[in-house]
Structures are given as structure tokens and as C-alpha cells.
Amino acid sequence: MAGYFLILAIIILGGVIATVGDRIGSRVGKARLSLFNMRPKKTAVLVTILTGSITAASTLGLMLAANRELRDIVFRTDAIIRQNRKVNQELDQALSQKSQIQTELSVSRADLTEAVRRLRNVNDSLKFSVARQKVSEAKLKQLRSRYDLAQANLLRFGKQATTLRSQIGQLSTQRQQLVAQRNQIQTRLKDATSQKQTLESAAKTAQQRIQSVEQQITQARQQLQSAVAQQASLQRSVSEAQVQLQQATNEQNTLRQQRQSLEREIAALEENRQRLSENLRVLLLGLRRGNVTIRAGQILAVGVLQNIRNPNEALQAINTLRLQARRTAIILTNPRNLSPDQRVVEMAKEDVEGLIKQVSDGKTYVVRILSALNYLEGESQVIAVPQVALNNEIFPQDAVISTLTLTPSTLTDEQILARINALFSAANRRAIESGVLPDPVTGTVGSFRQIDLFRFVLALKEQNNNAPVEIQAVTAAKVFSSGPLTLSLVALQNGRPILRS
């Protein structure tokens, strides 16, 4: 929905700027104005070009201001492209490493297969040699038994010695041949054993190379997974940014709707308040007729409470202020048939307890008892509320509160009085902003005697000086939060005092 509003705003803005540019170009052409010593026609063309440039710039600025994704695309395109290229390069490098490692793995597997085949052949030959050795050993055992038997027969049959000797010579020859065959078999067995050891070492080397290749494959997979994870993280970041942008847009729309609803509610409440105020005013006018002697917010009593450490002392000080407020209320309202023990000023119990609790910490406070409503002459009961604040030092003595500069010889007395009254207003405003408590009814923090003001103006005029004079409103004494703000007027010329009230 925000996109449609953006397109509609761009169309309307372009139409307005085009219309304004056309009007300006027409007026420039009709008025035959010339810029930079150009001919009026070229000046009109320049104005039209500038208007078109403003249209394009405003359209682009509006789109960039309204669409965060467009700003990212415009200002972060190079960074995104570089990052994408870097990721693609790392991915290509990982794929090339993977291909190379797979090739080496295929070669290693072929070598391992050949080695295993050769090892099997050697094992078969070894088994055949062992079998022949067993047969030879059996024959040897048989010949030994026959030799023993022959010797026994030789001892036994001496007569057959010649025949047996010849047979023994033949047997010896056969025995030598068998021994030679045995030695050959043992040599071949040693060769087979060495070949087996060589093949085992080659197999171990191949296994080590396979393990190394598998580790490289694992590292390549990890790098590939890391690259994929980085790409997925980047995609998630983009998605999260889009979601956050959508959420921010939704929240903005919701807040805009809430603001409109609150504005409508405030308008309705304001209308109700005005209507209730009007009804209350009419009701009060109908119920109460007479002279208002006490206004709402008027000060009935004021005092500075300090070094109070317990509730009893606080209650005693507050009762003193209540007596002062009672005397003030009696003087102002002049109630009829008032008894000596009748309570004229009423304060809520919660207000009194809260005031006692607040001023019992030993600090210095200024406490004022104010009228809660307007009261007429003759009324015998006044509802009051307390006002309490820390009584801090706001201004030291001789502090400059406000200044003005004027030339007395060029102004009348009334004009000088008006300027000085404006100086007093500025001083009053600064004192209130600094923390001096104003009168709730008049809104002022002090007063300046008119007779002293007239005397100062007359003395200033008697100087008969045509040079500018700086007038300063300075404090006559230290000013605290409780007030009042007592001022003195000082006139200076060239930084030198020439008059003081």
C-alpha cells in the first residue's frame, strides 16, 4: 500500500513541478527576462531545463527517502557486487580443489587396488611355497626314518654293507638335493616376506595419503559449507532487513492511525471540556451571586520551613501556617456570625499528612497554602491546598537578570516606561524559568514601586545624554525559590554606572 502512495505522490509532485515550471517558463518568456547575458528565449529554455532537473531530483529524493531498500541498492551496490564476487571466487576455488582432490583420490584408489592385487598374488605364492615346504619336510622325515632303518639294517646285516652303502650314497645325494631345495624355498620365503613388508609399507603409505586426501576433502567441504552458510546468512540478513522494513512500515501506519485516533479523542475531550466549563460557568453564575474576594489559586499563607527533623515539629509549623491562612481568609471574606473556634480554612487530611512527611527531612522548604476555588464575600469556609518546594538560592545579590539598550534623548517618557516594563517582564520570565515560584493568580514573582520607576526615568532624562545607555535589572538581595524577586535598575554608559534606582 505504501508503494502505491509513493507512486501517486511522485506523479502528483511531478505534475505540480511541471506545471510550476511551465508557468515560470511562460512568465520568463513573456517578460523577456535575461540571465547571465543570455537571450530571453535561451533564458526560458534554461528555466525549463532547471525545472526538469528539479523534477528528477525531487522524484529521486522522494524515492530514496521513502524506500530504504532503494537507498541500500543505490549506495551499497558496489559493496554487494564485490561481496558476491568474492563469495563466487571462493566457491569456484573450493570446487576446483574438490575436483583435484577427487582426481588424486581416484589415482590413490587405483594404486591401492593394484597393491592389494599384487599382495594377494604374493600371498597365493607364499601359500603354495609353504605347502611344498610341508611336503618336503614330510619327505625329509620319511627319508630320516628310512636312513635310521637303513643304519639299523646295516648294523644288523653287515653282509649287505656294500649294497647299503651304495643306497646310502644315493640317499645322501637325494638328501643334498632336498637340502638345496629347502634352502631355495627358504630364500624364496624370505623374498616373499620382504615383498610382503614392502607391500604393507606401500599400503600404509597409500592409507596415509588416503587419510590426507580425506582430510583435504573434509576441509574443502567445511569451506564449502562455510561459504554456503555465509551466503545463507547474507540472504537471511536481507530477508530480516526486509521484514524489519515491513514491520517498521506497519508500525508507522499503526502509529499514524493511533495518532489520528488520539487527535480525534483529544478534540472530542477538548470539546467536552469546553462544554463542561461553559455549563459550570453558567451553573456558578446561577447559584452564586456576589463579589469574589478570594480567587482560585490565591495565596493565603506562605512560610519557609527549615531544620525540621520529626513530624511533631512539622505539624506545629503547618498549624502556624494554617492560622495565618485563617486570618487572611477571615479578612478577605468577612464571614457573618463567625465563632472563635470555627474552622474557616479546610485542608484534606491526605494533603496534611503528605506535607508533614515531605518537610520532615531537615531540608529547607517553602510552603504556600492556596485557595482551591473562588469564594464570595460572606462565605465562612474556604477549601485550601498546600504547595511545597525546596527553597534553593536562585540568584545571588547584584546578579544581572535582564538588560536593554536605549537612547533617552530620542524617546519620550512613555516610551522609556514601556521599554523598562518589557525589561521587567523579561526578568520575571527568566526568574520563573530559573525556579522562583510565581504568584498563581498574577503570574509574577515580585513588583517594582511605580514611584521609584518614575524617579528613575526622570533622572535618566535629566542626564540629557545623546549616547546609548544600557539599563540592567539586578537583584537587590539574594533571591530564593520562595521569592520575591526584588530588583534595582542600573544605568551604564561605556561600562560605567551613571544611575541607580
Share of the chain above pLDDT 90, in %: 0
**Can you tell me the mean pLDDT for 477-499?**
86
94 exposed, middle or buried (CB, 10 Å; 0-12, 13-18, 19+)?
buried
Residue 272 has pLDDT above 60, yes or no: no
Q: What is the pLDDT of residue 287?
A: 42
Together in a domain, 27 and 88: no
Same domain, residue pair 106 and 184: yes
User: 399 with 467, same domain?
Assistant: yes
Name the more confident of 411 and 182.
Answer: 411
Give how far Cα 116 sits from Cα of 128, 192, 194, 204, Å: 18, 15, 16, 12
Interval 85-143: pLDDT, tens: 887 887 788 788 778 877 877 777 787 788 778 878 777 777 777 777 787 777 777 77
Contacts for 209 with CB less than 8 Å, ≥ 6 apart? 104, 108
Residue 284 is assigned to a structural domain of this protein = no
Residue at 130 is within a domain: yes
Q: Is residue 431 predicted with pLDDT exceeding 70?
A: yes
Each residue's pLDDT tens digit, 17-31: 777 767 776 776 666
Q: Would residue 314 count as lying in a domain? A: yes
- Which DSSP string corresponds to 54-107? HHHHHHHHHHHHH-HHHHHHHHSHHHHHHHHHHHHHHHHHHHHHHHHHHHHHHH
CB-based contacts of 52, cutoff 8 Å, min separation 6: 21
Determine the structural domain holding residue 479 and report its residue range. 395-500
Q: Does residue 286 surpass a pLDDT of 60?
A: no
Establish if 287 belongs to a structural domain: no
CATH assignment of the domain containing 100: 1.10.287
Q: Is 71 domain-assigned?
A: no
- pLDDT tens string 298-325: 888 888 888 888 888 888 888 888 888 8
**What are the cell numbers at 431?**
526568574
> Do both 384 and 403 map to the same domain?
no
**Same domain for 428 and 488?**
yes
User: Within a domain: residue 235?
Assistant: yes
Q: Are residues 191 and 231 in the same domain?
A: yes
Whether residue 127 is found in the same domain as residue 234: yes
Q: Compute the distance between CA of residue 367 and CA of residue 359 in angstroms, rounded to an integer.
A: 9
Which residue, 391, 407, 430, sits at the end of a domain?
Answer: 391
Answer with the one of 337, 357, 391 that is the final residue of a domain. 391
Dist CA 472 CA 352 (whole Å): 42
pLDDT band at 327 (very low <50, low <70, confident <90, very high): confident
Q: So what's the pLDDT on residue 222?
A: 73
Q: Which residues contact 147 (CB under 8 A, 6 or more apart)?
A: 168, 171
pTM score over 0.75: no
Strands (E), 306-371: 345-346, 365-371
Q: Which of these ranges, 47-56, 60-69, 219-228, has the smallest mean pLDDT?
A: 219-228
pLDDT of residue 279: 47
Kindly report the number of other CB atoms within 10 A of residue 380's CB atom: 17
274 is a domain residue: no
10 and 128 share a domain?
no
Asked whether 370 and 384 are in contact (CB, 8 A), the reply is yes
What percentage of the chain has pLDDT greater than the value 70? 71
Same domain, 386 and 400: no
pLDDT at 150: 64
Give the pLDDT mean for 422-449.
84
Q: Provide the residue count of the chain.
A: 501
* Residue-level pLDDT at 285: 44
Greater pLDDT, 259 or 134: 134
Higher-pLDDT residue of 304 and 34 is 304
- The full DSSP string for 357-420 is HHHTTS--EEEEEEESS-EETT---EEEEEEEEE--EEE-TT-EEEEEEE-GGGS-HHHHHHHH
Q: What's the pLDDT score for residue 310?
A: 86
Please say which residue of 355, 372, 391 terminates a domain: 391
The answer to whether 297 and 318 are in contact (CB under 8 A) is: no
Mean pLDDT for the stretch of residues 394-404: 88
Q: What is the 3-state secondary structure (H, E, C) of 152-220?
A: HHHHHCHHHHHHHHHHHHHHHHHHHHHHHHHHHHHHHHHHHHHHHHHHHHHHHHHHHHHHHHHHHHHHH
Q: For position 283, what pLDDT does the model report?
A: 44
Please check whether residues 338 and 406 belong to one and the same domain: no
pLDDT-derived band at 373 (thresholds 50, 70, 90) equals confident
Residue 164 has pLDDT above 70, yes or no: no
**Which pLDDT does position 382 carry in this prediction?**
82
Same domain, 42 and 145: no
Q: Amino acid identity of 2? A: A
Is 308 within the bounds of a domain?
A: yes
**Are 92 and 213 contained in the same domain?**
yes
User: How many domains does the structure of the chain reveal?
Assistant: 4
